[in-house]
Amino acid sequence: MNNLSTEYGAILVISGPSGAGKSSLINKVKELIGDFYFSISTTTRPIRTGEEESIHYHYVSKEEFKQDIEDDNFLEYALVHGNYYGTSLKPVKKALKKGQLVIFDIDVQGNAAVRNRLGDISTSVFVTTPSLKILKERLTSRATDTQEVIKNRISMAKIEVQRINEYDFLIINDDLDVAAEKLINIAKASRAKMPSVQINEFVHEWEDNA
């Protein structure tokens, strides 16, 4: 009987309203979850001063982007102010082949797209504050947005929270250390998720070696 590897590339989707602390959580656990690739958007807009390739975006030509659209290489994409933005599946597939954990920090629509295309190897977690009141306090206290932007973020948060049941896990980010420990456990569990094709392979080999 062939030994099947216990390590597979896997996907971890992290969603949640702005102000929930997703970035802080990811930064806190990134050294503790093993080899991973953080999914970065691809764009056709010119690189700006201070930006770096593969750090802020993957920068490509419009011709290359359009070709990838034709080749169905995007999880999702949009044309914004004359430039394309999208989530390319090419670096994701490359990371998966290396056995890496691919992390997506995306909204509820993005999670739906991942589940539709890559649900077999995906685990999802929704991160939020203990209450709407606390979310409002965090958005206000960080003083990085105008009142209009904060109002829009809160409206979006109310919509996103209604879709928590589309996720595998919920993390209430009240204590960062506690939330980080939960995320580490979820990341480890996501790596252990075996794709259906490999489960079927195991079942056939198991039966063949009666």
pLDDT digits (tens, 9 = 90+) for 72-89: 999 989 898 899 999 999
Contact 97, 74 (CB under 8 A): no
> Looking at residue 3, what is its pLDDT?
36
Residue 42's closest CA among 58, 26, 20? 58
Q: What is the CATH number of domain 36-98?
A: 3.30.63.10
Cβ-contact 78, 85 below 8 angstroms: yes
Q: Provide CATH 3.40.50.300 ranges for the chain.
A: 7-35+102-210
| Cα separation values, 148 from 45, 144, 145, 154, Å | 27, 12, 8, 10
Q: How far is CA 179 from the centre of its chain?
A: 17
Q: Does this model's pTM top 0.75?
A: yes
Residue percentage of the chain with pLDDT more than 70: 96
CA distances, 89 to each of 13, 41, 79, 117, 142 (Å)? 14, 10, 17, 10, 34
Q: What is the pLDDT of residue 8?
A: 66
Report the candidate in 1, 6, 2, 16 with the shortest Cα–Cα distance to residue 183: 16
Residue 2: predicted pLDDT: 35
Whether the per-residue pLDDT at 189 is higher than 90: the answer is: yes
CATH 3.30.63.10 range(s) for the chain read 36-98
pLDDT in tens, 99-156: 999 999 999 988 999 999 888 899 999 999 999 999 999 999 987 888 999 999 999 9
Q: Give 84's strand partners.
A: 79
Describe the crossing of helices 132-141 and 147-161 by its angle, rounded to 10 degrees.
Answer: 150
Rounded mean pLDDT, 11-38: 94
Q: What is the mean pLDDT of residues 180-196?
A: 92
Among the listed residues 28, 11, 27, 13, the one whose alpha carbon sits nearest the alpha carbon of residue 191: 11
How many other CB atoms are found less than 10 A from the CB of residue 86? 21
Segment 173-178 shows an average pLDDT of 96
pLDDT at 6 over 50: no
CATH code for the domain defined by 7-35+102-210 = 3.40.50.300
Q: How confident is the model at residue 1 (pLDDT cuts 50, 70, 90)?
A: very low
Residue 163 reports pLDDT greater than 80: yes
- Per-residue confidence at 60, pLDDT binned at 50, 70, 90? very high
